[in-house]
Amino acid sequence: MNIRTRGQIILFFLLFATACKKQTDNPVPSPVTINYPNPLGPLGADPGVILANGNYYCYFTSGNSTGAMPIKWSPDLFTWTDNGTRVFPIGQFPTWVNGGSYWAPEVYYINGKYVCYYATKAADGWFKIGAATASTPAGPFTDKGSPLASNPNFSLIDPTFFRDSINSKNYILWKTNKNALTPPQQTEIVLQEISQDGLSLVGSSSNILINDQAWEGLVIEAPSMMYRNGYYYLFYSGNNYGTDKYAVGVARSATIGGTYIKKSAPVLISDSRFDGPGGQSIVTNSPIAPYLLFYHARLRSDPAAGRYLMMDEIKWGADNWPTINDGTPSD
């Protein structure tokens, strides 16, 4: 894999020191600029990345032929290894699941446990949001035994978790998959409070975003939330994931349940080398950069290969809106 020059991040050589303990007897080394390659290497859609015990773990959409939802790990975010670990190994699938598709897993450390949120199909044919727990980020994970969130009339997919540092409440977000209905309906990003252990819903849900911009087409999905400088930022993907119209957008609000205003154009679109960037997750505790966006994209030179893991820094303008590289994936 060639190392190209557009993907550059300031790397502080505190990677292992900050992951373990503060070093007080050595001066902080000066930052250096390094080049990193996109794609990062492993195939996989809808990546969810977490830092745990000094390593990074990434969870991907999958079928169930080798177990459900691959877990790949990295010491540095650049090199990734798949040793065959799965969220659900063969023979340990949740009993309520009726199908082989496990979509958009994300893992979070909540109340002393690692909780994996994912979407999969149940007996009624609709995708529902599941949750499973483990004592380590590599599992083994134990499903809670029933869906965490469901709807009798359409599928729910793309769950993500958010801990609000302002009000100390936990939230879960997902996408209503109404674009898959006949005829297609408007899709929504849904927000709902969740218990302190992350395993049961609290109160009622609210729709906080809909597809209403031309570039989004029939779909908004893959929510990821963060808080910065007085705003809640909701990153999301829009349009058809199988085309080069798929892109990443962002909206923001001064309150978590308030009116979210969208940035006027996507922050990440296809270019001559990569198409279909999206399915993103945010990492805010990396020593590489304060804010990183992990996502998937296809190589135009080999579209049949599938979607690859990608990474770029989230930067911020004076207007408090984020930017990603030059608006396209870095090489």
Across the range 25-33, mean pLDDT stands at: 41
Q: What is the pLDDT of residues 295-324, one digit of tens each?
A: 999 999 999 999 999 999 999 999 999 999
Confidence bin at 287 (pLDDT 50/70/90):
confident
Give the separation between CA 277 and CA 176, rounded to whole angstroms: 20
Q: Please determine, for residue 274, whether its predicted confidence score (pLDDT) is greater than 60.
A: yes
Instruction: Name the percent of the chain lying above pLDDT 90.
Output: 86
The CATH number for 39-324, chosen from 2.60.200.20, 2.115.10.20, 1.10.150.20, 2.60.120.260, is: 2.115.10.20
Residue 292's DSSP bridge partners are 283, 313
Phi-psi region of 166 (alpha: psi -120 to 50; beta: other; left: phi over 0): alpha
The reported pTM is 0.91
In this predicted structure, the answer to whether residue 247 has a pLDDT above a threshold of 80 is: yes
Q: What amino acid is encoded at 167 in this protein?
A: N
pLDDT of residue 34: 53
The rounded distance, in Å, linking the Cα atoms of 323 and 94 is 39
Whether 26 shows a pLDDT value over 50: the answer reads no
Q: Is the pLDDT of residue 1 over 80?
A: no
> In whole angstroms, what is the distance from residue 307 CA to residue 298 CA?
5
Kindly tell me the number of DSSP H helices and DSSP E strands found in the chain.
1, 22
Q: Which residues pair with 18 in a beta bridge?
A: none
Choice among 9-23, 70-84, 144-158, 291-305 with the minimum mean pLDDT: 9-23
Nearest alpha-carbon partner for 208 in 242, 235, 227, 240:
235
Cα–Cα distance measured from residue 83 to residue 67, given in angstroms and rounded to the nearest whole number: 12
Q: For residues 326 and 6, what is the distance between their CA atoms, to the nearest angstrom?
A: 10
What is the rounded distance in angstroms from the CA atom of residue 206 to the CA atom of residue 301? Answer: 41
